[in-house]
Structure 1
Amino acid sequence: MTTMTTTTDAPVLTATGVTMRFGGLTAVRTVDLTVHHDEIVGLIGPNGAGKTTFFNCLTGLYRPTEGTVTYRDTVLPPKPHLVTRAGIARTFQNIRLFANMTVLENVLVGRHTRTREGLLSALLRSPRFHRAEAASTQRAMELLDFTGLAPKADHLARNLPYGEQRKLEIARALASDPGLLLLDEPTAGMNPQETRATEALVRAIREQGTAVLVIEHDMRFIFNLCDRVAVLVQGEKLVEGTSDTVQADERVIAAYLGTPFEGAPGQEELAEVEAAEAEAAHAEEDR
């Protein structure tokens, strides 16, 4: 077993030359990105830019065609449960809660990667199992309190308002005690009040020692929140820097307005990449 150590200056996440091809189509091309332990980093780009595909490469859902992803200097295997165990958790663009389980039970599911009790211990209901179960429940309730959901611990997840379902997904992800949290469009479908609450929650997560990498279409949310922002355009990293640097870049403005810049792929290639990403996403959901 490899022992992972960190320093103040060492990145939590390092993606080097990450490329993802679907057949002859390239959805992500040689993308480099780092996230440090005390950072909130944003990843933005127009629809079809390859943001979610890149996230899927980071979290083991896809095996990159080329490049490496390391967490605290250890190369990550392309297996989602092993990536989670290593210390990276994520939420999804489309909410993936267990609708017929309670709020508390959903968080406990996220806790299983940090428990060591085996099947025999569970079947025998040993004292060790009961201690572990009590500790997991205590930690889950702490996370529900942190996200403001403790009063609804016994409610079914399906009965929560949309914004609270998003919070529950975050609580469940945090249950694995990650060093890095990846958020895929956490404010999608939210009203302004819910968006502000999510911004405050993400800041609080960082203050508790968890780095954050976030995909989002809400530019105000991203630029208010993030220490650095990277821009993907048609699978390639166009620019990276502070919010002011990114907002002032004419290529970013052109990309969002749909204006071609020198070297930009054409709309036909963009449509092909979007279709390949969608097909891969459907295949993953069917697994």
Structure 2
Amino acid sequence: MTPMTTTPDKNPAPRTDSPVLHATGVTMRFGGLTAVHAVDLTVAHHEIVGLIGPNGAGKTTFFNCLTGLYIPTEGTVTYKGTVLPPKPHLVTEAGIARTFQNIRLFANMTVLENVLVGRHTRTEEGLFSALLRGPKFHRAEKASTQRAMELLHFTGLTPKADHLARNLPYGEQRKLEIARALASEPGLLLLDEPTAGMNPQETRATQTLVRAIRDQGIAVLVIEHDMRFIFNLCDRVAVLVQGEKLTEGTAETVQADERVIAAYLGTPFEGAPGQDEIAEVEAAEADARTEDNR
């Protein structure tokens, strides 16, 4: 199902050329291993930027540095000119939302309840208000429910509002993750492989949805392995190879770069790391994820 016409933001941000995201010299080391090295990247308002690269290129590690899951060893990340705090919930409060490569929904909650969870950073009700459940609490609860239903309409999930998240088809679970992320009213949305596991029809619907999000003033940074999806969707594409930004530009520029072709074909180029080094970095990233989940 294609997205509906309801807007994800009633007051979209005015168009401007200033960057909403500015990452400078971002480096992430795990012990003596460097997973991301000196990466610079900007995302402007009303822009969709793609981040691509072979497996083990450091794309998700870079995402984690942007969203406070990892504190970069070096470099800075600013959102609308302000350095981001090194805590995921504070990054969300600042205005950056994300989805994950592996879907992270509350499986035993309804679709509507999952979106309401995403509203928590934009509600002002404290503990005592929630306990007393007075008029102010009920007004806030009604407003949050109304906003959540608007986002379900926007993503085409209204008929599934009362369904458990675990019972949704895979493609609709991906949409629900996006709806929940939009519930925090972000100015920048980070999508980590949003079409993974989708069929061509679902992929086209996701492309339409992402463009609709951008059209409402929300900038988008997306990781994806589906090159057709990326090149059809994005205004700019940046390529990471073993943690370093190899090149950046329009889809046409990137596709014509011989170094990008070599990286995807597995052909060594000058300065390329060996397989042992690649395996070490991937193992370090996996260990870091294990620690985060404890």
TM range (shorter): over 0.9
Aligned with 1:29 (options 34, 37, 43): 37
Q: Which runs of 5 or more residues in structure 1 are unaligned?
A: none
User: In 1, Cα distance between the equivalents of 2:240 and 2:155?
Assistant: 30
Aligned with 1:221 (options 218, 229, 252): 229
AA aligned opposite 1:25: L
1:100 aligns with 2:117: no
Cα offset for 1:263? 1.2
Cα offset for 1:283? 1.8
1:200 aligns with 2:208: yes
Cα offset for 1:197? 0.4
Aligned with 2:286 (options 261, 269, 278): 278
In the TM superposition, 1:77-156 aligns within 5 A as 77-156=85-164
Aligned with 1:59 (options 46, 67, 71): 67
2:241 aligns to what? 233
Kindly indicate whether the alpha-carbon contact (under 8 Å) linking 2:21 and 2:77 is maintained by their aligned counterparts in 1. yes
Deviations 1:109-138 (A, max 9, x none): 000000000010000001000000000000
Cα offset for 1:285? 2.2
Deviations 1:37-69 (A, max 9, x none): 110000000000000000000000000000000
The structure 1 segments of at least 4 consecutive aligned residues displaced by more than 2 Å after TM superposition are: none
AA aligned opposite 1:231: V
AA aligned opposite 2:72: P
Q: Secondary structure at the match of 2:119?
A: helix
1:244 aligns with 2:252: yes
Indicate the larger mover: 40-49 or 273-282.
273-282
Kindly indicate whether the alpha-carbon contact (under 8 Å) linking 2:15 and 2:217 is maintained by their aligned counterparts in 1. no
TM-score normalized with structure 1 length: 0.97
1:169 aligns to what? 177
User: In 1, Cα distance between the equivalents of 2:172 and 2:233?
Assistant: 20
TM-score normalized with structure 2 length: 0.95
User: In 2, Cα distance between the equivalents of 1:258 and 1:11?
Assistant: 34
Cα offset for 1:7? 7.3
User: In 2, Cα distance between the equivalents of 1:273 and 1:63?
Assistant: 17
Kindly indicate whether the alpha-carbon contact (under 8 Å) linking 1:69 and 1:75 is maintained by their aligned counterparts in 2. yes
User: In 2, Cα distance between the equivalents of 1:82 and 1:272?
Assistant: 31
CA RMSD of aligned residues (A): 1.0
Kindly indicate whether the alpha-carbon contact (under 8 Å) linking 2:24 and 2:75 is maintained by their aligned counterparts in 1. yes
Q: Secondary structure at the match of 1:8?
A: coil
User: In 2, Cα distance between the equivalents of 1:282 and 1:261?
Assistant: 32
User: In 1, Cα distance between the equivalents of 2:16 and 2:217?
Assistant: 12
1:158 aligns with 2:166: yes
1:227–1:7: structure 2 CA closer, same or farther, 3 Å change rule? closer
Indicate the larger mover: 113-122 or 266-275.
266-275
Count of aligned pairs between the two proteins: 282
Q: Determine what percentage of the aligned residue pairs are the same residue.
A: 87
2:277 aligns to what? 269
2:53 aligns to what? 45
Aligned with 1:19 (options 27, 31, 36): 27
User: In 1, Cα distance between the equivalents of 2:27 and 2:243?
Assistant: 9
